[in-house]
Amino acid sequence: MTTKRNDNVHVAIIMDGNGRWAEARGMVRSEGHKSGAKRVKQVILHADTCGVRKLSLWGFSTDNWNRPEYEVNILMQLFKKFILQEADELHQRDACVTFIGDRSGLPEQLQRVMAALEDRTKDNNGLHLEIALNYGGRDEIVRAVNKAVEAGKQVTQESFLQLLDTPDEPDLIIRTSGEQRTSGFMPFQATSSEWYFEPVTWPEYTPSHFDTALAAYKARDRRFGGLSKKVV
């Protein structure tokens, strides 16, 4: 499938609010995670249809290990199930899938299916789908610093970017569920990213919400420290 990429836009989403969505409806939190997983595929396919160049999804934070063990186990099972179920379609749509975060802390079976999907899609040229699992911004920076120390090299801003899990700065970062904080998402990369805080929880998130956020981003005047293009 050949799709015109949408102005080279890189969109990242902090998918927040699964548990609260379920609790508000008298359900156990795991039902929220299951509903949220269905939204993941829907948004990925829509982003691809829109021609977004890269879509980064934060699925599991290093802080999420503080949740009850049964909830963490359900999440790990959902990640594995999603990868196995969607691998064929993602490959057929020419998506290139990569994972960021400290995967060494994840279950071995999950690590294997992640690596298999990365290898299978590495030469694809469509949507770049980046999924953050066991990811934390400070953790990413510490691991990058340790790489530099082990190599015995001084770094520049540009060379340090190459030591991070991902060097790409998102153009637009969306956070769902009404929370207005960054939670340490890509702190080194996202210095000029535009943020969009969406009040609905992730299980309620639709392609229409995505389109609204993308339109809002395109309407913004991005100056990158310079003067507004609107200044005459």
- Could you list the active site residues? 16, 64
DSSP, collapsed to helix, strand or coil, labels residue 3 as coil
Structure-block tokens of residue 172: 């637009």
Beta bridge partners of 60: 133
Amino acid at 112: R
E-assigned strand segments in the chain: 10-14, 54-61, 96-100, 128-135, 172-175, 194-197
Q: How far apart are the first and last CA of the chain?
A: 43
Residue 104, classified by CB atoms within 10 Å of its CB into exposed (0-12), middle (13-18) or buried (19+), is exposed
Edge-to-edge strand ranges of the sheet holding 194-197: 96-100, 128-135, 54-61, 10-14, 172-175, 194-197
- Do 117 and 79 meet the contact criterion of CB atoms below 8 Å apart? no
Give the angle 144-148-151 at the CA atoms, nearest 5°.
Answer: 135
DSSP, collapsed to helix, strand or coil, labels residue 60 as strand
